[in-house]
C-alpha cells in the first residue's frame, strides 16, 4: 500500500460533496473581480480620471490600510488595488473551510473512521483535501485571468493577479492542513486557521498604511502581503509566487509529519479528565449554553481587542502621513481637519469590526443547528425544557456576545488611538460608540440565520450567504456605483459612520425592530417544526 492509496476515490468524494459550494465560491470571487474591472472601465475610462484617483489615494492611509496600495494606474491596476487584498483573503477563507471540511471535520463526526478502515493510506484524506484545494485555487486563477483578459487587460498582469489570489489560497490551505492536525474539532481547526488569516490581514493593513508608495516593507510578514508584492500589471514579480508556493509546501509537509504521529480522531494535545460531578450552576439550558460557548466568546474577544488595538494605533501614522503631504492635507483639512482623516479611517475600521462581529453571531446561531442535527439537543429537549428555553439560552450569545466583542474592539481601538495621538480626549468613548452602533446590523444578520433555522432548517447555513451578500454590498457596492436600493439591502449601509459622521437613532431603531420580527418568526417556526 503506497502513501497515495485511496486518494483518488477520496478526492472524487470531496468534489462530489462540494459540487455546489466550490463552484459558488469560485464564481463569486471571479464575478467580483470581473464586475469591478467592468465598472472601472466605465467610471475611470480616461487616464486623467485615473490620475486623479491615484493622487487622491496617495495620501489616504485609511484607504491604503483597507485595500492596500495602488500600484499601476491602469484599469487592471486599480482593479487589483480595489479587490486584490479582499480577494486574496476570501481565497484563503475558501481554502481553509475546504481543507478542514474534508479532514478534521470529517474525522470528528466519525466518517473518516469508516473510510480509514478501507483500503486507504493514512495521509490519503489530507492529500485529497489539499488536491481539492489546489484544484479550486487553480480554477480561480484560470477564470480570473480569463475574465480579465476578456475585458481587455494585458495577459501577463492578468495571469499574475489570478496566480497571486490562488497563491494566498494555497498558503492558507497549508495553514489549515496543520491546524486540522492540532485541533480536535473542525470548529477549533477553522478558528485557529481563521486567527492566522486575521493576523495576516492586520499585519498587512498596518504595513500598507505606514508607507506612501508601493506595498509596505512589513508586507513580507503576511501571506496576503506576498500577493500584493507580486504587483500585477506593474512589476509582475513572478518569483514572489514561488515564496507562497514554498511556504504552502512547507506547511503541508508539517501536516504530513503530524498525521503520522497521532491517532485517528485525536488531536495532538492529550485529553485531560474532567470533574466527576457538575458545578452547582450547571442546571439550566442557559448554563449549558454558557458552558458550550464561553471558550469561543473569550477567543473572539481577545481577537477583537488585538485587532482594535492595532487599527487604533495605526491612526497616528495616517495623520502623520497626511501632514507631510501638503496638497492632500489641505484638501482633507477643508473637509474636516486632521481629525477628519483619522475619523474617516476609524469609522471604516468600525465597519469592519461590525462585519467580523456578524461572523461570530452567525456562527453562534449555526451552533444551535449543530446541537440539533448532531443529536445533543434531543436528550435536553426530552427533559422538561421548552424549545424556546433551549434556543434563547444559545441566542443570548449572538445578542450579548457580539456586544461584548464590539466593546472590546472599540475600547482597544480607543485606548490605542488615545495613547498614540493623545490630544483627542473623549476618543475612547467616541470609538466605543462607533463600535456599538454596529450592533443592530450585526443582530439583523444573525436574525436572518434564526429565521432560516426556524422556517428552513436545512438551509440554516445559508446564513453565511446572507452575511457574504451584506459584505459584498458594503465593499463593492459603492465602488461599482450600485443603485441605492441595492446598497440599502445591507443593514450595514444604514449604520451611522462614527466617529465623524452624524448619529441617527432612527435607522438603528428600525434595524432592531426588524431583528425582533425576524427572530420572533424564526422562533415560532422552531416551536412548530420537527426536530432533527
In the three-class reduction of DSSP (H, G, I as helix; E, B as strand; rest coil), residue 193 is classed as helix
Give whichever of 295 and 426 is closer to another protein, judged by the CB atom.
Answer: 295
User: Rounded to 10 degrees, what is the CA torsion of 85, 87, 91, 93?
Assistant: 70
Q: Quote the cell numbers at residue 346.
A: 476609524
Nearer to another protein (CB atom), residue 12 or residue 294 = 294
Cβ proximity to another protein, 72 vs 372, nearer residue: 372
C-alpha cell at 287: 448554563
Q: What ranges make up the beta strands (E) of 138-230?
A: none
Q: Decide whether 314 or 391 has the Cβ nearer to another protein.
A: 391
Helix (H, G, I), strand (E, B) or coil at 460: coil
* 7 vs 293, beta carbon nearer another protein: 293
In whole angstroms, how close is the CB of 531 to another protein at the nearest point? 4
Shortest approach of another protein to residue 17 CB, angstroms? Answer: 21
Nearer to another protein, 179 or 407 (CB): 179
Task: Look at residues 235, 141, 251 and name the one whose alpha carbon lies nearest to residue 193.
Answer: 251
- HSE at residue 526, side-chain half, CA atoms within 13 A, is 27
Q: Least distance in Å: CB of 299 to another protein?
A: 13
Task: Note if the bond before 101 is cis, omega within 30 degrees.
Answer: no
Binding site for another protein (CB under 8 A): 184-185, 265, 271-279, 282-285, 287-288, 291-292, 295, 374-376, 378-386, 528-532
Q: In the numeric block, which cell numbers belong to residue 383?
A: 427533559
Quick one: 110 or 152, whose CB is closer to another protein? Answer: 110
| Cα–Cα distance, 24 to 464 (Å, whole number) | 12
462-468-474-475 Cα dihedral, nearest 10 degrees: -160
Contact criterion met (CB below 8 Å) for 161 and 144: yes
Find the helix or strand (DSSP H, E) in which 465 lies: helix 462-476
Minimum Å gap between C-beta 457 and another protein is 13
Shortest Cβ distance from residue 283 to another protein (Å)?
4
CB 260 to another protein: min, Å:
21
- At closest approach, how far in Å is the CB of 391 from another protein? 14
Amino acid at each position: 500500500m503506497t502513501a497515495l492509496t485511496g486518494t483518488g476515490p477520496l478526492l472524487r468524494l470531496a468534489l462530489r460533496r462540494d459540487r455546489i459550494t466550490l463552484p459558488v465560491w469560485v464564481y463569486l470571487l471571479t464575478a467580483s473581480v470581473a464586475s469591478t474591472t467592468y465598472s472601472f472601465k466605465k467610471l475611470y475610462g480616461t487616464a486623467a480620471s485615473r490620475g486623479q484617483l491615484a493622487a487622491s489615494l496617495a495620501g489616504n492611509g485609511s484607504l491604503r490600510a483597507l485595500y492596500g496600495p495602488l500600484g499601476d494606474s491602469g484599469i487592471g491596476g486599480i482593479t487589483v488595488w480595489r479587490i486584490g487584498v479582499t480577494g486574496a483573503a476570501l481565497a484563503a477563507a475558501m481554502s481553509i473551510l475546504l481543507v478542514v471540511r474534508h479532514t478534521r471535520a470529517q474525522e470528528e463526526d466519525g466518517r473518516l473512521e469508516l473510510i480509514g478502515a478501507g483500503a486507504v493510506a493514512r495521509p490519503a484524506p489530507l492529500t485529497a483535501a489539499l488536491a481539492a484545494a489546489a484544484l479550486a485555487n487553480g480554477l480561480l486563477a484560470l477564470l480570473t485571468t480569463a475574465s480579465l483578459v476578456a475585458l481587455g487587460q494585458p495577459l501577463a498582469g492578468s495571469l499574475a493577479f489570478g496566480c497571486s489570489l490562488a497563491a494566498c489560497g494555497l498558503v492558507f490551505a497549508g495553514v489549515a492542513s496543520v491546524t486540522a492536525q492540532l485541533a480536535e474539532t473542525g470548529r477549533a481547526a477553522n478558528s485557529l486557521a481563521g486567527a492566522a488569516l486575521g493576523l495576516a490581514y492586520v499585519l498587512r493593513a498596518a504595513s500598507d498604511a505606514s508607507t506612501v508608495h508601493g506595498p509596505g516593507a512589513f508586507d513580507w510578514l503576511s501571506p496576503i502581503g506576498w500577493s500584493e508584492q507580486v504587483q500585477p500589471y506593474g512589476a509582475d514579480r513572478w518569483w514572489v509566487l514561488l515564496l507562497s508556493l514554498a511556504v504552502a509546501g512547507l506547511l503541508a509537509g508539517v501536516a504530513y509529519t503530524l498525521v503520522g504521529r497521532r491517532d485517528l480522531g485525536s488531536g495532538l494535545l492529550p485529553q485531560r479528565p474532567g470533574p466527576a460531578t457538575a458545578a452547582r450552576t450547571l442546571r439550566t439550558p442557559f448554563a449549558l449554553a454558557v458552558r458550550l460557548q464561553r471558550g469561543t466568546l473569550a477567543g473572539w474577544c481577545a481577537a477583537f481587542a488585538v485587532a482594535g488595538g492595532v487599527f487604533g494605533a495605526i491612526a497616528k501614522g495616517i495623520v502623520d502621513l497626511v501632514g507631510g503631504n501638503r496638497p492632500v492635507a489641505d484638501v482633507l483639512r477643508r473637509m474636516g481637519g486632521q481629525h477628519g482623516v483619522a475619523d474617516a479611517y476609524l469609522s471604516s475600521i468600525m465597519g469592519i469590526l461590525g462585519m467580523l462581529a456578524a461572523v461570530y453571531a452567525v456562527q453562534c446561531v449555526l451552533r444551535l443547528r449543530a446541537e440539533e442535527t448532531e443529536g445533543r439537543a434531543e436528550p435536553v429537549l426530552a427533559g422538561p425544557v421548552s424549545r424556546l428555553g433551549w434556543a434563547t439560552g444559545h441566542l443570548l450569545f449572538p445578542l450579548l456576545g457580539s456586544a461584548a466583542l464590539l466593546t472590546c474592539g472599540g475600547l482597544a481601538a480607543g485606548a490605542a488611538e488615545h495613547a498614540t495621538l493623545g490630544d483627542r480626549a473623549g476618543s475612547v468613548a467616541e470609538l466605543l460608540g462607533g463600535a456599538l452602533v454596529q450592533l443592530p446590523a450585526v443582530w439583523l444578520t444573525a436574525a436572518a440565520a434564526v429565521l432560516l433555522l426556524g422556517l428552513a432548517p436545512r438551509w440554516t447555513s445559508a446564513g453565511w450567504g446572507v452575511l457574504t451578500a451584506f459584505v459584498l454590498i458594503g465593499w463593492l457596492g459603492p465602488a461599482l456605483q450600485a443603485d441605492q436600493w441595492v446598497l440599502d439591502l445591507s443593514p450595514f449601509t444604514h449604520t451611522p459612520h462614527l466617529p465623524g459622521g452624524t448619529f441617527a437613532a432612527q435607522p438603528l431603531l428600525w434595524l432592531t425592530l426588524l431583528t425582533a420580527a425576524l427572530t420572533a418568526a424564526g422562533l415560532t417556526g422552531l416551536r412548530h417544526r420537527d426536530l432533527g
